Amino acid sequence: MKLNKVLAMLAVTGMCSVGNAAFAEMMEPTCGASTGKAATGEAIKVGGIHGNAAPGDFSSSTDAAKAYFDCVNANGGIHGRPVDYMVENDQWNPELASQAASKLVVDKAVVAMVGNGSFIEMSVNAPFYKEQNIMAMAAACAVSECFESSNLVSTNQGPLASSVGAAQYAEEELGSKNIACIGLAIPTVGPWSCNEVTRFMEARGKTGSTVLLNPGAPDVNSGLLEAIASGADTIMVNLPAGLGVAMLAVAQEQDLGDAYKWIASTPLYDASVPGALGEYWDGKLFINAELVPFSRDGADNTNWLALMDKYAAKDDPRDTFSQAGYLSARYFTETLMAMDAKDIDDRAKVTTAIKAISGYTSDMTCGPFYVGEADRHMPNHAGVMVVVKDGGFKEVRDCYEYDSPYFAELIETEKKLGLR
């Protein structure tokens, strides 16, 4: 169903003429060694954890990683061997998240974690991954621990970078002087990302404030009123899509669409959002996309859709987390293929190889992917801005790098790695 929505969006946005997806349907996906022969021999064990239970489903990242590994297994594998990709669901439960990591890392002895997507898993397991000297190449991260840990790296941006990106666009292009960022009242999510928006604005001589909303709060109206009371001229919706749509519905009820500038972080860049919002928000809501639009031409974007068509279930979402899951699996596969065949079952050597990643590129992201030996990893800190338009999205700003004090340390690392 979601694929249909994506395809419909492609048609509406007109961003891609005949359409990347239509082309993807015809092409044969490529992956790994691309030999066309099934891999044989002992499997390489790889793990993945996602969160899937009400009220959210982050499984599209591991769905895409699984599709990629299935493709690799059908195309010569890694050094001729197949990947045994084992996925667990933390169901947003810290205890289950811990058990899942223990099962995969200790009992199954996986060499790495790939495609992880959760609100919970990274917060719980970041110290465990460090202790076990295993790398998690995540794809759907939303908490600070995912970006501020030594053994976690993600292909997606998370709320901090995406929020700063949206704020930067608003400040530079919409003339915003005071941004109220409405985020989730989870310390490692809402305050972490929204406070950085304020720091960004203050660094540019402007002001910002944070409004926190309880995830289960029925009354989003008071959050909106608090944002208004702050004196903001721009309101940022930095919330999961469902809650974000509810917030915008309340703003529509108050007819505030033209009274303020409206911006949002990535969660609202979802094919279902324009339909749920309706015509009222047409041309009014600007959203930061942490990976390039689904419909854009490019080798990886096209290959991702073709690969999903061939190896994933029909109803597996083709969304941002799916793109990021594909990328994590691709980078992991290429890293292992570059290793000596006899070392790929040695977790310590795999961890060293992943940490040595420097400068993988893709048309899906605006910058290079790297890891490095550091306590902070956020390689993806450049993105694209879109606006809700004609029942879909229209790109309003191509790849741009985010500029905030938070990224200074990352930029130094990139300089040392010769990526700048």
Partner 1 sequence: MRKTIFSAVLYIIAMAIILGTLTYGRPSAVVGLFLVSGLAVGSLYALGGIGLVVLYRATGILNFANGAVGAFGVMLAWQLGQWGVYAPLTWLAALLAAVLLALGYGRFVAPHLAWRPPVIKAVATLGFALVVLGITGFIWEDDIRSFSLPTDKSAIRVLGLRVTITRLIVIAAALGIVVAIYVFLGRTRIGLQMRALANNRNLSALMGVKIVRVETIAWGISGLISGFTGLMFGDLVRLEPQIITFLVIPSIAAAVCARLDNLMLVLVSGLSIGVIESLLTLSPMLKQVRPTAPFVIAAIILVWHQRNSKINISGDD
- Which residues contact partner 1 by CB under 8 A? 2, 54-57, 185, 212, 214, 216-223, 225-226, 228-229, 241-243, 245-246, 249, 253-255, 270, 272-273, 276-278
As measured in angstroms, the least distance from the Cβ of 282 to partner 1 is: 15
Nearer to partner 1, 11 or 249 (CB): 249
Cis amide bond preceding 55, omega within 30: yes
Nearer to partner 1, 243 or 312 (CB): 243
Give every CB contact of residue 215 below 8 A, 6+ residues apart in sequence: 55, 184, 185, 186, 240, 243
Least Cα distance to 5 among 324, 323, 315, 385 occurs for: 315
Taking the C-alpha atoms of residue 190 and residue 226, their distance in angstroms, rounded to an integer, is: 15
As measured in angstroms, the least distance from the Cβ of 241 to partner 1 is: 5
CB 48 within 8 A of CB 29: no
Taking the C-alpha atoms of residue 308 and residue 302, their distance in angstroms, rounded to an integer, is: 10
Least Cα distance to 68 among 342, 283, 364 occurs for: 364
As measured in angstroms, the least distance from the Cβ of 290 to partner 1 is: 18
Count of residues making up the chain: 420
As measured in angstroms, the least distance from the Cβ of 221 to partner 1 is: 5
As measured in angstroms, the least distance from the Cβ of 50 to partner 1 is: 13
Nearer to partner 1, 243 or 354 (CB): 243
SS3 263: strand
Nearer to partner 1, 40 or 222 (CB): 222
Nearer to partner 1, 43 or 250 (CB): 250
Nearer to partner 1, 98 or 230 (CB): 230
State how far the alpha carbon of 67 is from the alpha carbons of 26, 62, 419, in Å. Answer: 17, 8, 30
> How big is the chain by its Cα radius of gyration, in Å?
21
As measured in angstroms, the least distance from the Cβ of 218 to partner 1 is: 5
